[in-house]
Amino acid sequence: MGLITDIRDSISSLFSAQDPKRIGIYGPPNAGKTTLANRIARDWTGDAIGPESHIPHETRRARRKENVEIERNGKSVTIDVVDTPGVTTKVDYTEFLEHDMEKDDAVRRSREATEGVAEAMHWLREDVDGVLYVLDSTEDPFTQVNTMLVGIIESQDLPVLILANKTDLEDSNVRRIENAFPQHETLPLSALEGDNMDEVYDKIAEYFG
Amino acid sequence: MPEVKKADDDGVQIDLISGERMENMTSMEKIRMILDGVHEGNIVILEEGLSPDEESRLIEVTMTEISPDEFNGIEIETYPQSGSTDSGLLNRLMGKDETKKLTVIGPANQIETLHKDETLISALVSRK
């Protein structure tokens, strides 16, 4: 672990005293990424980033909130928060029809969703300095998208915090996520209710400051 | 090149691609080979899988090719890697390739994962 810490510290020092680091919020669709992005943006800037919805692929463009200054323990950390579309390997427009959407709207939404996922992958390879990986803690974390994305993040040596979201729901199971990704630190939270956000901000400052 | 017999309408073609065949291909050649096969309704099994960067590009290219009523994307399965970061990084520093993992890829509307753990992938493949 010492080697990892040393390398992370070396990488961190490369960025110190430079521009704000871009922290990408990644995860599968409907994990609560935009709810978290809005929670962070509202807590520290007063503004939201984008609309939240229970319909998958509400976020179809990466959205950036710049210069979010987070104050922790007398110090401040400035980051750019990048809310990204949920990553998937398939998009079927007929699933949107189940949400009372007309076919034209469903097709348009699916087309925009595919562009958004491609954009999110591009950001991950080229344009982010760290990742908040958000998972719905009521869902099984052993999915191919999670396996691949965490693997991609690790291959880029990006610092990553795993966030087990939706702890306000009865079926939430944080331990399952901890077991799925034992090599990373997992923090429980409810972005919707604002539960455990203090610890999340402490860790953001520690990982990305 | 021996004559290749095509699957008839009642069957599902499975292509098992050896690591040797992939060895000298570029990332885009691998992705093209996979997606061309999947577009034809084939199940593609890679003996040695893709690197994380190639997986990322495969998702990106797949997204650009999704077309309503024609192609919904892919289902892809590999074994999850447990506790891999520390050893993975050390192995990469030592030049050891950690990406070699059996990978199954098929059209999203034809392959469904029934069970997956670190040692078993169980999938249901249906005809178009």
Domains of chain B: 14-125 (3.30.950)
CA A31-A201-A175 angle, 5° bins = 50
For residue B116, the model assigns a pLDDT of: 79
pLDDT value for A10: 60
Decide if A9 is inside a domain.
no
In this structure, chain B runs to a length of 128
User: Does A91 contact B116 at a Cβ distance shorter than 8 Å?
Assistant: no
Specify the higher pLDDT residue, A48 or A190.
A190
Domain limits for position A204: 20-89+117-208
Q: Has residue A146 been placed in a domain?
A: yes
Which percentage of chain A shows pLDDT scores above 70? Answer: 91
Q: Are strands B121-125 and B111-116 parallel, antiparallel or unpaired?
A: antiparallel
Q: For chain B, where are the E strands, in sequence order?
A: 14-17, 43-46, 74-78, 103-107, 111-116, 121-125
Q: How many domains does chain A have?
A: 1
Residue A100 inside a domain? The answer is no
Q: Which of A86-90, A153-157, B111-115 has the lowest mean pLDDT?
A: B111-115
Q: Which residue of A has its CA nearest to B73?
A: A90
In terms of Cβ atoms closer than 10 Å to its own Cβ (0-12, 13-18, 19+), residue A181 is: buried
The answer on pLDDT for B84 being more than 50 is: no
- Residue B32 contacts by C-beta under 8 Å, 6 or more apart in sequence? none
Q: Which residues of A touch B (CB under 8 A)?
A: 1, 3-4, 7, 87-93, 107, 110-111, 114-115, 117-118, 121-122, 124-125, 142, 144, 147-148, 151-152, 154-157, 180, 182-184
Q: Which amino acid is at A88?
A: T
CATH code at A199?
3.40.50.300
- Residue B2 confidence (pLDDT): 57
Q: Is there a domain that residue A103 lies in?
A: no
DSSP state of A195: B
Range scoring the smallest mean pLDDT among A43-47, A74-78, A199-203: A74-78
Please tell me whether the interface predicted TM-score (ipTM) of this complex is above 0.90.
no
Q: How many CB pairs (< 8 A) connect A and B? A: 103
**Closest CA in chain A for residue B61:** A118
Any idea of the CA torsion for B75, A161, B64, B43, to the nearest 10 degrees?
-20
Q: Is A201 part of a structural domain of the chain?
A: yes
> Quick check: is A104 in a domain?
no
Closest Cβ–Cβ partner in B59, B80, B83 for A117: B59
Q: Do B113 and A155 touch (CB under 8 A)?
A: no
Whether residue A41 contacts residue A196, with contact meaning beta carbons closer than 8 Å, is answered with: no
| Sign of the alpha-carbon dihedral angle for B1, B2, B3, B5 | negative
